[in-house]
Amino acid sequence: MAVKISHQNTTRFLDRWAYVPSSVACFLFLLLLFSSSLAKTVIDKQVTVSEGEAARVDTVKLTPKELGALRIDVKSFFPNNHWVVSEIQLVDQNGQVIVSAMDEAWRESGTWREGGESGTWSESDLLGGLDIQSQQAEQLDVVIEVLDSGKVSGAPADLAVSFDVKVKKGVIQTSHLWWGLIYTSILGILALWATRASGNKVISKTLKDSDPKGRAVLGGEDNLVRVKIHTELDENTNRNVKVNLSINNVYGEQVYKHSRTIPVALKKNDSGEVTGGTAKLEYFLILKERGSYSFQARIEPDAPVDSTSLIVRDGTKTLQSVSTVQISPVELSGKQRHFTME
C-alpha cells in the first residue's frame, strides 16, 4: 500500500452552529443601539385633572403583532410637599377598562442644619406609566383619573393636577435585551472555545523532554484530526526552533513526516533579560484510512527544552477554513510500499 499526500483548504469541518450565539448577541446589540429609533410618539398632550375626576387624553389605535409595546409615560405636576394617587386607564369603546395602572407621585423639600451649616434638600417621584402588548386590533381611550391627594404633613388637599402624557408605539424593553446580550455573549464565547476543544482527545502526552509520542486508533474520511504541539523552553532558547512531526501506521511504516521552523515567543523579566519561551504548532490532518497510528513530535535543538506536549484530537471541528494534509492509501501491485506527494 502506497500513501498519497495532498494539501487542501477546506470548510467541510466548519462548525457553523458555534456562531449562532455570537450572531444573536450581535443582533441584540444592534437592537439596543437602534431601539429608541424604532419607537414612534403617537400622543403628546397635557391635561389637568381635579381630585375625584377623570379626563380623557386621546384615542390610540392598537395593532396586534407589532414590534415592541405600547408605552404610556405620565409625568405629574403639582405644588411642593404634596402627594397624588392617580390611575392610568385604557378604556374600550364600550366604556370598559381594559387595563389600568395606579401610581403614587410625591414631591418634598425642606432645609437641614448640622454643625453650624445649613442647606436645602428636595426629592420627588413624579413619573408613572404602563406598557401593553395588544393581541387584537382595537381603539382605546387613554384616561387619567385622580383618586386621592394630600399634603405630606397629613393635611387634606384638593388639587388640580397637571399631567404630561406621552404615548409611544414600538417601545422595546431594553432591560431584557441587556440580559439577553450578556447571556448570549457568554454562550458565544463558550461555543467558540468548545469548538477549538472539540473531538475525542485520543493522545495527550507531556514530557520533560523534546520528543513525546503516542498511539491511537483514529482517522476516517469524514474525521478531521487536530494535532497540537506545545513546547516550553528555558532562558537559553534560540529565537526559532524546529518542530518535527512523524506519523507511523499500524505496521510501523512512516506515512507522514514534516518539519517546520517556527518563532519562539520569548519571556522577559523587568530588566529585559530572556527567562524562557514558548512555541506552538498545529496541524489538521485527514487520514482517509481509519486505523492505529503512532504520532511523535520532536523539538530541535533539544537542549533548551523544559517540556513538550503532544495533543491529538479525532473528529474535531473548526471555526474557519483550514489548510489540511490529506493522507490517502494508494493500491500498488506486488508488495511495494512507498509514498507519493503532490
Per residue in 73-118, pLDDT (tens digit) is 999 999 999 999 999 999 988 889 989 999 999 999 988 888 778 8
* 341: pLDDT strictly greater than 90: no
> Which pLDDT score, from 0 to 100, does residue 1 have?
58
Question: What is the band of 337 on the pLDDT scale with cuts at 50, 70, 90?
Answer: very low
Average pLDDT over residues 196-221: 94
Domains identified in the chain and CATH numbers: 40-171 (2.60.120), 199-316 (2.60.120.380)
The string of DSSP letters for 106-162 reads EEEEEEEEETTEEEEEEEEE-EEEEEE--SS-EEEEEEEEEEEEEETTS-B---EEE
* 336: pLDDT strictly greater than 70: no
| Phi/psi-derived region of residue 236, left when phi > 0, alpha when psi is between -120 and 50, beta in every other case | alpha
Q: Greater confidence, 132 or 336?
A: 132
| Percent over 70 (pLDDT), the chain | 96
Average pLDDT over residues 217-235: 95
> Which pLDDT score, from 0 to 100, does residue 340 have?
47
Neighbouring residues of 257: CB distance < 8 A, sequence distance ≥ 6: 244, 245, 246, 247
* 205: pLDDT strictly greater than 60: yes
Instruction: Give the bridge partners for 265, in sequence order.
Output: 278
Amino acid identity, position 10: T
> Which pLDDT score, from 0 to 100, does residue 342 have?
44
* 45: pLDDT strictly greater than 60: yes
> Which pLDDT score, from 0 to 100, does residue 132 have?
85
* pLDDT, tens only, 130-173: 888 877 888 899 999 999 999 988 888 888 999 999 999 888 77
The string of DSSP letters for 203-242 reads EEEEESSS--EEEEEE--TT--EEEEEEEEE-TT--SEEE
> Which pLDDT score, from 0 to 100, does residue 65 have?
65
* pLDDT, tens only, 293-309: 999 999 999 999 999 99
Question: Are the C-beta atoms of residues 280 and 311 closer than 8 Å to each other?
Answer: no
Average pLDDT over residues 322-330: 91
* pLDDT, tens only, 4-16: 899 999 999 999 8
Reference 122, options 144, 105, 107, 112; nearest CA is 107
Q: Is the pTM of this model over 0.85?
A: no
- pLDDT, averaged across the chain: 89
